[in-house]
Amino acid sequence: MDSPDQTFREDLIDLLPRLRRFALMLCRNGDRADDLLQSACERALTRHQQFERGTRMDSWMFAIIHSIWKNDIRREVTRRGIEEKLPDPVTFVDGERDVIGKIFLSKVLSLVEALPEHQSSALMLVNVEGLSYAQAAEILDVPVGTVMSRIARARQALGKELDKTSNVTPLRNTGR
């Protein structure tokens, strides 16, 4: 079997922070995210010949991560018959100047984590990773309209929860 060329390996290395962020959003556990990322990188390296030059490697890798994640979940549900409870989100609070902004960010992150996985995945791919609806649809293996609908429902749910429960608003520049 031939090995991937240097450019392929360098491109993969450059994507690692984004790939880990996506894996962490799916797993909501650092160790599991690292395992998922390692599995995805291993799959990409062993199947590098399947990557089409001139296409987006990030989309290809997100699809690999999502596929492995779905398979892992199916395997766990089948083996245990239950879904794993998600850990409580981390609250980011340090430094007086940024406390309110960080509390708000923590609130938003916990609300995103509380969304159904299909909504949070679509939201992350489009709004955080900057992929198009079409690219996210390909990764998630659903129609573009489904991605758009999932993101709309996720945004609506986030807005409703923020309006309902948040007494912390993001800091605004007052011009002082």
What domains are defined for the chain? 1-87 (1.10.1740.10), 91-176 (1.10.10.10)
Q: pLDDT, tens digit, for every residue of 51-73?
A: 998 899 999 999 999 999 988 88
Q: Is 51 helix (H, G, I), strand (E, B) or coil?
A: coil
Beta-carbon contacts of 25 under 8 Å, excluding residues fewer than 6 positions away, are 112, 113, 120, 121, 124, 128
Q: Output phi, psi for 90, to 5 deg.
A: -80, 135
Q: pLDDT, tens digit, for every residue of 106-126?
A: 777 788 888 898 999 999 899
Residue stretches of the chain with pLDDT short of 50: 82-84, 86, 92-94, 97, 168, 174-176
Q: Is 47 helix (H, G, I), strand (E, B) or coil?
A: coil
Question: Environment class of residue 80 by beta-carbon count within 10 Å: exposed (0-12), middle (13-18) or buried (19+)?
Answer: exposed
Cα-to-chain-centroid distance, residue 22: 3
Q: Which of 93, 119, 113 minimizes the C-alpha distance to 104?
A: 93
Token pair of 76 as six digits: 């766990």
Beta-carbon contacts of 138 under 8 Å, excluding residues fewer than 6 positions away, are 59, 63
Q: What is the pLDDT of residue 77?
A: 72
Q: What is the pLDDT of residue 129?
A: 86
Token pair of 93 as six digits: 């609070």
Beta-carbon contacts of 131 under 8 Å, excluding residues fewer than 6 positions away, are 58, 59, 62, 125, 139
CB atoms under 10 Å from CB of 82, counted, come to 8
DSSP 131-171: --HHHHHHHHTS-HHHHHHHHHHHHHHHHHHHHHH------
